[in-house]
Amino acid sequence: MKTIEGQLTPVQDAEYVIIASRFNHFITDRLLSGALDGFSRHGVPEKCLTLVWVPGAWEIPVAARRLAESKRYSAIVCLGCVIRGSTDHYEHVSSEAAKGMAQVALSSGIPVINAVLATHNLEQAIERAGSKQGNKGFEAACTAIEMTGLLSAIGKAKP
Ligand code: INI
């Protein structure tokens, strides 16, 4: 049996882009630190990273789409935080952001990593941004590296 899988060793010359949203930046700043740490610990040099800021999670998909269309990046890491307490349209913002990211990934074939937290309260968000539950930004960077490796390995696999 053949097994194809990505590793946590970055593909040479891979370029990654991080989209970070400013809304709830107390949390997204921490997700960003986690993502940068994740890339750096796995040997991705800073020169291979681009950071794009958007106002809120709602704006992530359109930015992701344009970045995917540029064909300059191997994977797109999306960082955001939607907190139920702070909006009536919580469901709408978080589900449209998730749908949009999935759509960009499927239509472009470029991994779009979803680290947009959708939580009931600030405490849950803090837990996922560098405390009890780890840091989803760090995990997203690892996923971006692994998926880039996987797609490259699939491309090289003989039929
Ligand atoms: N954007 C977020 O990223 N998180 C939120 O919790 C949030 N709330 O609470 O409304 C939020 N709203 C802004 C939205 O993402 C857009 O930036 C705005 O609607 C303009 O299009």
Note the pLDDT tens digit of each residue in 50-62.
Answer: 999 999 999 999 9
User: How many angstroms does the Cα of residue 143 sit away from the middle of ligand 1?
Assistant: 25
Could you tell me if the CB of 87 is within 6 A of ligand 1? Answer: yes
Domain-located, residue 3: no
Q: How many CB atoms lie within 10 A of CB 69?
A: 12
Query: Does any domain span residue 141?
Result: yes
Task: Give pLDDT, residue 86.
Answer: 57
pLDDT digits (tens, 9 = 90+) for 72-88: 999 999 999 999 875 56
- The per-residue pLDDT for 135 is 97
Number of domains in the chain: 1
Q: Reduced to 3 DSSP states, what percent helix, strand and coil does the chain have, rounded to the nearest 5?
A: 55, 20, 25
Is the minimum distance from the CB of 55 to ligand 1 under 6 angstroms? Answer: yes
In angstroms, what is the span from residue 74 Cα to ligand 1's centroid? 27
Ligand 1 centre distance from Cα of residue 81 (Å): 9
Provide the residue range defining the domain that includes 62.
Answer: 16-153
- 34 domain residue, yes or no: yes
Decide: helix, strand or coil at residue 102.
helix
Confidence tier at 89 by pLDDT (50, 70, 90): confident
Residue at 101 is within a domain:
yes
Q: What is the CATH number of the domain that holds 86?
A: 3.40.50.960
Angstrom CA distances, 71 to 15, 44, 159, stand at 10, 19, 25
The answer to whether the beta carbons of residues 4 and 38 sit under 8 Å apart is no
47 assigned to some structural domain: yes
- The length of the chain in residues reads 159
**DSSP state, residue 11:** P
Segments in the chain forming alpha helices (H)? 25-41, 60-70, 90-108, 122-128, 136-156
Q: Give the nearest ligand 1 atom to 83 CA.
A: 6
- Segment 126-150 mean pLDDT: 96
User: What is the best residue among 21, 23, 25, 84 to mutate for testing ligand 1's pocket, by most ligand atoms within 8 Å of CB?
Assistant: 23
